[in-house]
Structure formats: C-alpha cells, structure tokens
Amino acid sequence: MTDVQKTVSALCSAAKTASAVLAAASGDTRRTALLCMRDALCAHSEQILQSNAEDMLHAEQNGVSAPMQDRLRLTQARLLAIADALAALAALPDPIGEGEVFTRPNGLQIRRVRVPLGTVGIIYEARPNVTADAAGLCIKSGNTAVLRGGKEAIRTNCAIVYALRAGLRTAGLPEDCICLIEDTSRDSAAALMQMRQCIDVLIPRGGKGLIRTVVEQASVPVIETGAGNCHLYVDESADIEMAVSLTMNAKTQRPSVCNAIETLLVHASVQEPFFRALRDAIASFHTPVEIRGCARTRAAWEGILCASEEDWACEYDDYILAVRVVDSLEEAVSHINRFGTHHSECIVTRDLNAARAFQLAVDSACVYVNASTRFTDGEEFGFGAEIGISTQKLHARGPMGLTALTTIKYLIDGTGQCRT
C-alpha cells in the first residue's frame, strides 16, 4: 500500500466504525445532529469564509476559469443558505425504520426494515456547497460519509468539515461520521474507488468526465447520476405554440443542467409552422441560440449549421440545439433510445394514443407529455431532498430522494423453528 492508500484506508475504516454507532442512533438524534451541524457552520462562518478567500486567491493566481471561480466562491449569504439546507433536511421525515411485517404459516414473524447503507463515499469537484449538502444527506439517512472534494476548494472544505464534526460532537455522535480526504491527488480518488471493505456505495457528483472515470474504475458499487442528453419530440398533432414554449424553456431556462434538452425531433408534417414559430422565438430571445440541423431541417431553415452523428450524442450544456426532422413517432423513439442517456424526454402532442405510445416505448427515467423536461428534479417532484438524478436502472432511477441512500434488512423472530 502506498502512503496515500494507507491514509484513505484509515479514514474509510474510521467512517465504517462510526457507522455502527450512527446506525444505532435514533431519528431524533440524527435530527438534532443536523441542527447542531447547522449551528456549527454559523458559529464557524468567519473561519470558513477566510479559508474560502484563500482558495479564491489561489484560484485567481492559478488562472481558474470564471465559472469555476463562481462555483467555488462562498459569501455570507451562500453559507447561510448551506446552513439552512441542513435545517430543512432535519425537518424531513426519517427514511429509516420499520416497514412491512408478515407472519408465515410456521409462525415466523418477518419484519422488513429500512436501514442505512452504512458508509457512503462522495467524489466531487470544486463546489464547497456539496461538502455540507452530501454530509447532511448521509447523516439524515443514517450513513457515515467519506468526502473527497476537488483541490480548488480544499481549504474551504477543511473548514466546513471541521465545523460539521464539531456539530456532531455536540450532538453526542462520533466526529468520524463525516471524514474528509485532505489529499486531493488523483491517487486519493483512485484509492477511495477500491475501498470495497469499508465503502458501501460511491456517488460521483460533478461533470461527465468525473462520472465516467468513477463508473469505469471503481470496484465499489456506484450510483451513476447526471448524464443528460434529453430530447423533445414535436408530434404531428402538437399545439405549435406550446411546442415552441416548451422547447424554449427546456433548452434555455438553464442550459448547463442535466435536464435541459439537447436535441429536438420534429414530425415532418408540422415542420413548416413549427420552425417558423421557433425561429421567431429564438430571434426575440436575449441570448443567441445556435441551431445544428439535419439535412431536412437545413432545407427548411436557412443559415443554420449541419448536425453530425456526434451532435445527436452530445450533451452541449450550452445555448446549442440539435434538430432532426422525423417521419413518425417510432422514428423519434428509436432516435431517443439510440442516442439518449435515459434521463428525461418529452412529447408535445394532442393525441392521447401517441402520448401513451411514447411513454411506453421511450426507455428513460422520466417521460413527459406536454411539459418541460426541466421538472426532473427531487424538489420539483416533491421528494424534499435530492441526492441526484439516477440514469441507471438498478437501485434508483430518476430523481433520488433519501431512500436511495438506504437498503432493507429482514429481521425474523422465531420460537425454535427448523426447516424440514
């Protein structure tokens, strides 16, 4: 084992040991702990903002991009929002506890209870808000957390975790319920990905590159989140005005997020009126939106770029929209299932049969009829807290609430029953 592996292993082991204590703590204790963590963040705000100022200075000196600097920056207001989020978590219903109970003919009483996963690893980038957010989600669901954030935010993360651990102590819980890997080298992330003995699940939070690396390299089970190549299909019976409004919302309301659309599929029979109306909407929009079209789109829409095969598979996360004309709903579905990431798709239609056929055939977590894909979100679905949007089919799919951080366990009470 290298020194980095030893350090990571020791931290993971400490978090695993603490998980037994946390799993035995009541929902009230976990609720109190979250409030103590909130108070500690506020009490340590000066140190946290000071550490953040140092991170910001290094970021400027190292020529870190402006958007990344913005994600990195904490203000008094942002820190307060982070602290408030912990209090909001505390107020949510406890995801841990008794479920179904059933008695078998032989008298065995079987209880199915929802229990924490144990210890959760989180690998993320330069957003210090994730530090408190992920730690809070873990504590709420009875899991201990091993956090490995990006190097740009390391001073801020250390200060936040210092405060959170102080909060845990106040609540009478082991401070190792939250552990931060202070080594931000690639080696420390690689080491964390192999800690099968201690880490029950690994959640990458960040860009596509990070998620792909974790999915490919980790031997610890991973919950994959966030890849979003989403589509909107304008059916032949679509309300054109609604189709334009949904397209504009799903593309431009916040293009950098995973539930924004990247490709528009348009039924040939409505392309003329739809393209005309969309062109007008884009022309009057405050920011230029670049269109990349298939041959048929380009024939109908002058001056746009040509979309290649790569465009269909691309998550632009930007004011760019790929457009393809199709001859049928089936062609739209087949395009989506081939090029999409199984996240969120929408059909705009007035035909109920088309709506149901689309919802059945599209193999994605969320399939919308006449609504923006931007609603794929834990808050918007009413789940209270969101851990991420799962694009996998096992364990969790779509917006993940707190139960995604739990598993089940069967407790069986008998009176000496033997199997015959």
Residues of the shown chain interacting with a second copy in the complex, contacts defined by CB under 8 A: 20, 23-24, 102, 104, 108, 110, 117-118, 200-201, 216, 219, 221, 223, 239, 242, 245-246, 249, 253, 355, 359-361, 363-372, 374-376, 380-382, 392-395, 397-399, 407-420
Least distance (Å) from a second copy to the CB of residue 272?
Answer: 21
- C-alpha torsion sign, points 46, 51, 55, 61: positive
Nearer to a second copy, 75 or 197 (CB): 197
Nearer to a second copy, 163 or 265 (CB): 265
Q: Which residues pair with 398 in a beta bridge?
A: 390
Q: Let me know: does 85 contact 78? Beta carbons within 8 Å.
A: no
Nearer to a second copy, 305 or 411 (CB): 411
Nearer to a second copy, 162 or 381 (CB): 381
**Measured between alpha carbons, how far is 293 from 248 in angstroms, rounded to an integer?**
16
Crossing angle, helix 45-61 and helix 27-43, to 10 degrees? 60
Q: Is 71 helix (H, G, I), strand (E, B) or coil?
A: helix
Q: What is the largest CA-CA distance in the chain?
A: 80
Structure tokens at 409: 């366990």
- Region of 303 (left: φ > 0; alpha: ψ -120 to 50; beta: rest) is left
Q: Is 116 helix (H, G, I), strand (E, B) or coil?
A: strand
**Measured between alpha carbons, how far is 54 from 60 in angstroms, rounded to an integer?**
10
Least distance (Å) from a second copy to the CB of residue 206?
Answer: 21
Least distance (Å) from a second copy to the CB of residue 26?
Answer: 12
378: how many CB neighbours lie within 10 A of its CB?
19
DSSP string, 5-52: HHHHHHHHHHHHHHHHHHHHS-HHHHHHHHHHHHHHHHHTHHHHHHHH
Nearer to a second copy, 63 or 105 (CB): 105
Least distance (Å) from a second copy to the CB of residue 327?
Answer: 19
Nearer to a second copy, 301 or 375 (CB): 375
Least distance (Å) from a second copy to the CB of residue 237?
Answer: 14
Least distance (Å) from a second copy to the CB of residue 230?
Answer: 13
Least distance (Å) from a second copy to the CB of residue 305?
Answer: 26
Nearer to a second copy, 48 or 329 (CB): 329
Nearer to a second copy, 147 or 355 (CB): 355
What torsion, rounded to 10 degrees, do the Cα atoms 376, 115, 201, 51 define? 80
Least distance (Å) from a second copy to the CB of residue 394?
Answer: 4
113 Cβ contact list (under 8 Å, min separation 6): 97, 98, 99, 408, 409, 410, 411
Nearer to a second copy, 212 or 295 (CB): 212
Q: Let me know: does 221 contact 254? Beta carbons within 8 Å.
A: no
Q: What is the 3-state secondary structure (H, E, C) of 276-324?
A: HHHHHHHHCCCCCCEEEECHHHHHHCCCCEECCHHHHCCCCCCCEEEEE
Nearer to a second copy, 325 or 366 (CB): 366
Least distance (Å) from a second copy to the CB of residue 385?
Answer: 17
Strands 201-205 and 290-293: unpaired
Least distance (Å) from a second copy to the CB of residue 142?
Answer: 11
